[in-house]
């Protein structure tokens, strides 16, 4: 058994307390904090991602695993030297105007953070103007929009059009997601991509951020 197997397993099981205890004990043995994060916590989350893709795990379980992983990262982060943690980039994400659904968005935020992105979660019912303000304030590489209702999908196009009108479209990649959204719809409204689940969104962001 590898020294991080137990930690990976605790992340997989979504056991927050166990993850914290194991992470603390690894730190106490002078284990490299970045190795604990990468080879233990994130590696455990990657197993979850694979199982989710294969239909062997479902959203509530994935959210529990992501919470456990984030709890572990919180334990280890203070031991990591600032310059060692390289952010993969800033992502601004929000559920579009008129839509109050956030379970999918919250899961995407957790998964993106596990991939090393700095995620600014704007929340729900976010107007095009609020997205514009966030782009100006945080200078993200990527803007993510979520919608669960077919009636709020036009708000995605409206937001992209507003970003273009303000002359900011060249600065950011725009991705969309949510149950009623499709790859075709993404192309139609001029988005840079679409993720049909949280893991697909993560993979897409890694590709777009390069």
Angstrom distances, CA of residue 114 to CA of 41, 98, 166 = 9, 29, 32
**Residue 116 has what pLDDT?**
85
Query: What phi and psi, each to the nearest 5 degrees, are found at residue 154?
Result: -60, -25
Looking at the fold, whether 79 and 97 belong to one and the same domain comes out as: no
Looking at the fold, whether 74 and 103 belong to one and the same domain comes out as: no
Which residues in the chain show pLDDT less than 70? Answer: 1, 82-85
Q: What is the pLDDT of residues 64-101, one digit of tens each?
A: 999 999 899 889 988 887 656 678 899 999 999 999 99
- Residue 16's domain spans which residues? 5-84
- Output the domain CATH number for residue 105: 3.40.50.280
> d(Cα 92, Cα 188) in Å, to the nearest integer?
22
For strands 142-146 and 118-126, give the pairing.
unpaired
148: nearest Cα among 101, 108, 105, 97: 101
Q: What is the pLDDT of residues 163-182, one digit of tens each?
A: 999 999 999 999 999 989 99
Looking at the fold, whether 201 and 136 belong to one and the same domain comes out as: yes
Domain count, the chain: 2
Looking at the fold, whether 80 and 97 belong to one and the same domain comes out as: no
- Which of the listed residues 84, 100, 122 is the one where a domain comes to its end? 84
């Amino acid at each position: 058994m590898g020294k991080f197997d137990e930690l990976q397993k605790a992340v997989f099981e979504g056991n927050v307390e166990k993850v914290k205890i194991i992470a603390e004990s690894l730190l106490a043995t002078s284990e490299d904090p970045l190795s604990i994060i990468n080879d233990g916590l994130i590696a455990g989350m990657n197993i979850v991602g694979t199982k989710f893709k294969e239909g062997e795990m479902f959203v509530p379980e994935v959210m529990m695993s992501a919470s456990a992983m984030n709890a572990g990262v919180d334990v280890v982060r203070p031991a990591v030297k600032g310059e060692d943690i390289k952010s993969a980039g800033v992502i601004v994400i929000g559920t579009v105007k008129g839509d109050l659904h956030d379970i999918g968005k919250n899961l995407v935020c957790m998964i993106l953070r596990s991939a090393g992105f700095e995620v600014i979660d704007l929340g729900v019912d976010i107007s095009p103007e609020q997205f514009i303000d966030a782009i100006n304030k945080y200078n993200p590489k990527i803007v993510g929009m979520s919608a669960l209702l077919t009636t709020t999908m036009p708000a995605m196009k409206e937001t992209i059009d507003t970003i273009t009108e303000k002359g900011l479209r060249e600065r950011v990649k725009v991705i969309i997601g949510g149950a009623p959204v499709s790859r075709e719809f993404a192309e139609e409204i001029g988005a840079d991509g679409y993720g049909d689940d949280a893991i697909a969104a993560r993979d897409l962001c890694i590709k777009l951020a390069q």
